[in-house]
Chains A and B, each alone.
Chain A
Amino acid sequence: MKRLLILSGKGGTGKTTVAGAFIFLAQAQSYADCDVDAPNLHLLVHPKDKPNTEPFLGMPKYEIDSEICRGCGRCFSICRFDAIRTKDDRFEIVCERCEGCAACTLVCPEKAIFSSLEPTGELHLHLSPAFFSTARLRPGSGNSGLMVTRVKERLREASQSEMEILDGSPGIGCPVIASMSGTDLILAVTEPSLSGLYDLSRILKTAEGFRIPVIVCLNKANVNPGLASQIDAFCEKIGIPMVGHIPFDPNVVRLTNAGQSVVEEDCPSGNAIRVLFPKVMTYLKTVGNEVKNDYSSSFE
């Protein structure tokens, strides 16, 4: 099984547009949206069935029983997340700030602090027309990394497919790191801007730490030709393959809003993706093998 992950560092460079196009071109049987706090892939892939939905239970949070609390304030002093505040002459826990560490339970002399486990989002698994795992984090909740791990697990449990395409989230933090584990190849979608270049370098550093190979494609390439060649040169210098350029194309907004992938029509962006898609598939077949061998030999 080969797993392709689409990332970008900077948001809005076109991860989901590229992911949707690849799913269409590959007639992929297995894919997931790992951008759990801003999921969009479902707007392009049109699942036909009602999903198998389960609540996502993150970490337990804690609550103070105001009947038992005597207001000594030890929990308040010990909490490192500013999650405890005074209420009248008692204390209470601010749910959005509680990390669920339970340190407060260790110091409460009245044993007035109890855990409560509430769902902090929903996991959806579609089976038709293909295996599609997605999720929606309840806004303001933590544990997005754990949720990404569950999204991937649910896909793997259901599907025996030889290839998985994962649409990732922006940034370099816990959801991105969670999406990276077990990935064979990362396609980083960037754009010709200083921000795009700088954010690309940060996602490359993150991937390097986990020893996952990365290839790059440049979206909206003609918006700033000068920076486009700067990014080409940057990739060449550090030995990261640039698999292709996609031009800025006003059709993307129209097709996206119609729920269609850009490769469903004859348009400049769609045509460019059609050209770079087979290159990515070739990398996925070869680069993934080398990496797997590397890892297996280090365990022997």
Chain B
Amino acid sequence: MKSLNIAVLSGKGGAGKTMVAVNFAALANQAVYADCDIEEPDGYLFFLPEIVESTPVIVKVPEINVDQCTGCRKCVDFCRFHALGLIRGKAVSFPEICHSCGGCVLVCQNGSITEKPRIIGVVEEGNRDNIRILSGFLTPGEESGVPIIRAIIRKFRPKESLRILDCPPGCSCPVTESVSHADYCILVTEPTTFGRDNLQMVHELIRLLGKPIGVILNKSVDGYDPSEEYCLRENLRILGKIPYDEELALISSQGKIAVRGSSRWRTLFSAIFQSVLEEAYRETALDSQR
């Protein structure tokens, strides 16, 4: 059976991605929860997994053999990221801004540049109940977490039937990287103009990547909902509504999983999760027919 990867996104931060993702993972019989929000990963706080493996994420950065370097500047002029400079006639590298493309090694004509490993974060793998939890942590001060997301994806195993990818906010490269591995996307939003504008941006991104989409309206209150209005206008499928509720806010703030504590939340999340699965399987089946 093919695995189903469901990405949970929002554009705006704090709309409820992690709350939705952890509750869905808890409802599934067996699931992988992958926390791709590597700048601020919070999902593991809910599961408190037993860690079975912790793998450093390593990128390659240039190392310059100063004795061999002739100061020809070829690497400095080539590097598009300005991660190399020339000081006192010798090349020096600035590993913090290096993108690890390997171009400098290729362009150096006398083999003065080799590559050395540099750790930019860690991927932790753990278990809790029937859930396999993968979390990526970018080291504070590092710029790009994309290699950490790739390291999480490499931890996927064949025959895992359902994976839930908790994505970063926004719509730039870490989001693109996470979503490119998804079969179906859930956009979580809130009833504000902020939520709506950011929903629109992430909607544009998913359309560009050609993935099927459904929306969950979170923190729903009576009255005007700009996000709902946007969904209706854009013909976006609304998978369900989660009301704004003080009890739910309190449960989540404590790092607890709502569906485990009360039948009220179990019933509500189960109904939405069911429609997510139905939609996702229907859309991916359609996809394979196309």
Contact = CB atoms under 8 A, between A and B. Distances in A.
A78 interface: yes
Contact of B102 (A16, A80, A136, A144): A80
A213 interface: no
Contacts of A57: none
Given A169-B170, A171-B168, A206 B140 contact: yes
Interface string A220-239: 00011001000000000000
Contact of A96 (B11, B99, B142, B176): B176
Given A43-B194, A103-B101, A140 B209 contact: yes
Nearest to B15: A12
Contact of A139 (B103, B144, B208): B208
A177 B143 contact: yes
B145 interface: yes
Given A38-B198, A253-B192, A11 B13 contact: yes
Contact of A174 (B45, B107, B144, B205): B144
Contacts of B143: 145, 173-174, 177
B253 A199 contact: no
A131 B285 CA distance: 51
Interface stretch (A153-161, A189-197, A271-279): A189-197
Q: Which of B80, B224, B253 has the most CB of A within 10 A?
A: B253
A112 B262 CA distance: 62
A97 B150 CA distance: 12
Contacts of A224: 249-250, 253-254
Interface in B82-132: 99-103, 106-107
B169 A78 contact: no
B40 A172 contact: yes
B56 interface: no
Contacts of A141: 172-173
A149 interface: no
Interface string A94-110: 00110111110011000
B164 interface: no
Contact of A107 (B11, B106, B169): B106
| A interface residue count range (under 10 / 10 to 19 / 20 to 34 / 35 or more) | 35 or more
A138 to B, nearest CB: 8
A95 B172 CA distance: 13
Tell me what chain B mostly uses at the interface: helix, strand, loop, or mixed: loop
A253 B171 contact: no
A192 B255 CA distance: 11
Interface in B118-177: 138, 140-145, 168-176
B78 interface: yes
Nearest to B249: A223
Contacts of B172: 36-37, 137, 140-142, 144, 175
B81 interface: yes
Interface string A239-273: 00000000000100100110100000000000000
Interface in B42-56: 42, 45
B12 to A, nearest CB: 6
A100 B80 contact: yes
B270 interface: no
A173 B39 contact: yes
Contacts of B140: 172, 202-203, 205-206, 209
Contacts of B176: 96-97, 140
Given A37-B170, A102-B78, A195 B201 contact: no
B193 interface: yes
A10 interface: yes
A61 to B, nearest CB: 11
B4 to A, nearest CB: 22
Contacts of A203: 140
Interface in B240-263: 246, 249-250, 252-255
- 8 interchain residue pairs of minimum CB distance: A12-B14, A11-B13, A101-B101, A193-B253, A171-B39, A139-B205, A37-B170, A205-B140
Interface of B: 11-15, 18, 39-40, 42, 45, 78, 80-81, 99-103, 106-107, 138, 140-145, 168-176, 180, 190-194, 197-198, 201-202, 204-205, 208-209, 221, 224, 226, 246, 249-250, 252-255
